[in-house]
């Protein structure tokens, strides 16, 4: 297999584009797709603060590296990386080490916030307390809430997430399967400011997961390969498999799902007037306690022993 842009051996095939790319052209292509998406989602951003969610895995590490490349040289722009430690033994400490290595290499300010300090428990403690509840359901809620609250406290004008094309296509399909069009409309990248929310952008939205991985390997971005011990229980796994099968038989399915999401968001619109506030922690909520506080209450007896 030869590169479609030169005669070198290809390292990746792109059936959705009908092309193959060598390492050099893949690197350039990933950077170009990231740069265009970043400027589309954050137009004319020349002054302000951008937070980057950094887990230490490949996607967020590439997102930070490229956000730094395209924004850090602007004199009025400040970058802050935010990592959330959910309290998962043997897993998060490894990825946080990689995250720290990258932020030090780039000279980027790095804030680490802990679920234990915010909610008085950890994902490990909650998993022991709620054995039949998939841990991702509360862990993901806590992480998103802490990322938003920390980005607000920076204060940041935007929050960069490392979601790649596969992640986003899976999320669209999951929300379709749940019949939750409102959540499809609210997905990152945000098209409108929502009260209480730092606008989330996803500049890797046009890059498949495999290409993000190859980019990180080809360019030496430090990241950790560790897999969360609870990942096998995530509902997302079924959708990952379905999206992968659809993409295999119908290349371009992932992009089509994202186009559908964009059209739905444009049709529905996103309410920009303030959502209700959680009476417990003050975070945005659909009414009553937010999901983070609801899960916290479910594991309350574990609080203090976490």
Binding site for ligand SF4 (CB under 6 A): 86, 88, 123, 135-136, 139-140, 228, 230-231, 234
Cβ–Cβ under 8 Å, residues 193 and 272: yes
Burial label for 185, CB within 10 Å (0-12, 13-18, 19+), is buried
Q: List CB contacts of 193: < 8 A, sequence separation 6 or more.
A: 199, 272
Contacts with 62 (C-beta within 8 Å, 6 or more apart), sequence order: 30, 34, 162, 204, 212, 215, 216, 221, 223
Whichever of 68 and 236 has its CB closer to ligand SF4, that residue is 236
User: Residue 74 is encoded by which pair of tokens?
Assistant: 């602007």
Question: Would you say 112 or 264 has its CB closer to ligand SF4?
Answer: 112
Nearer to ligand SF4, 143 or 190 (CB): 143
CB of 139 to ligand SF4, least distance (A): 3
Nearer to ligand SF4, 234 or 242 (CB): 234
Kindly tell me which of 30 and 136 has the beta carbon lying closer to ligand SF4.
Answer: 136
The least CB distance from residue 265 to ligand SF4, in Å, is 24
Min dist CB 15 to ligand SF4, Å, is: 28
Least distance to ligand SF4, CB of residue 16, Å: 27
Q: How far is the CB of 98 from ligand SF4 (least distance, A)?
A: 15
* Token pair listed for 91: 């897993």
Question: Which value, in Å, is the radius of gyration of the alpha carbons in the chain?
Answer: 19
Q: Which is nearer to ligand SF4, 91 or 215 (CB)?
A: 91
**Tokens encoding 41:** 């989602």
Residue 261 Cβ vs ligand SF4, minimum distance, rounded to whole Å: 21
Min dist. Cβ of residue 54 to ligand SF4 (A): 14
Strand partners, 82: 53, 111
Question: Alpha-carbon distance 78 to 48, whole Å?
Answer: 6
Nearer to ligand SF4, 88 or 165 (CB): 88
The whole-angstrom separation of Cα 142 and Cα 191 is 23
151/143 Cα distance (integer angstroms) = 12
């Amino acid at each position: 297999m030869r590169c479609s842009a030169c005669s070198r051996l290809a390292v990746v095939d792109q059936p959705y584009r009908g092309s193959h790319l060598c390492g050099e052209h893949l690197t350039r292509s990933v950077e170009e797709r990231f740069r265009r998406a970043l400027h589309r989602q954050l137009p004319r951003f020349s002054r302000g603060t951008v937070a980057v969610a950094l887990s230490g895995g490949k996607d967020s590490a590439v997102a930070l590296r490229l956000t730094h490349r395209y924004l850090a040289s602007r004199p009025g722009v400040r970058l802050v990386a935010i990592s959330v430690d959910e309290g998962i033994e043997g897993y998060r400490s490894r990825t946080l080490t990689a995250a720290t290595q990258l932020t030090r290499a780039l000279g980027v300010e790095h804030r680490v916030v802990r679920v234990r300090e915010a909610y008085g428990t950890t994902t490990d403690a909650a998993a022991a307390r709620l054995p039949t509840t998939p841990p991702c359901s509360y862990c993901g809620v806590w992480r998103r809430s802490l990322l938003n609250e920390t980005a607000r406290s920076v204060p940041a004008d935007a929050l960069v997430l490392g979601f790649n094309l596969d992640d986003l296509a899976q999320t669209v399909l999951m929300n379709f399967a749940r019949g939750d069009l409102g959540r499809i409309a609210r997905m990152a990248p945000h098209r409108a400011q929502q009260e209480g929310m730092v606008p989330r952008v996803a500049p890797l939205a046009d890059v498949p997961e495999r290409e993000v991985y190859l980019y990180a390997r080809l360019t030496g971005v430090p990241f950790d390969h560790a897999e969360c011990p609870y990942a096998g229980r995530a509902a997302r796994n079924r959708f990952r498999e379905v999206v992968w099968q659809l993409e295999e038989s119908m290349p371009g399915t992932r992009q089509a799902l994202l186009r559908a999401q964009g059209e739905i968001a444009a049709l529905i619109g996103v309410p920009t007037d303030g959502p209700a506030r959680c009476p417990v922690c003050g975070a945005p909520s659909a009414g009553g306690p937010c999901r983070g506080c609801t899960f916290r209450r479910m594991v309350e007896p574990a609080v203090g022993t976490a």
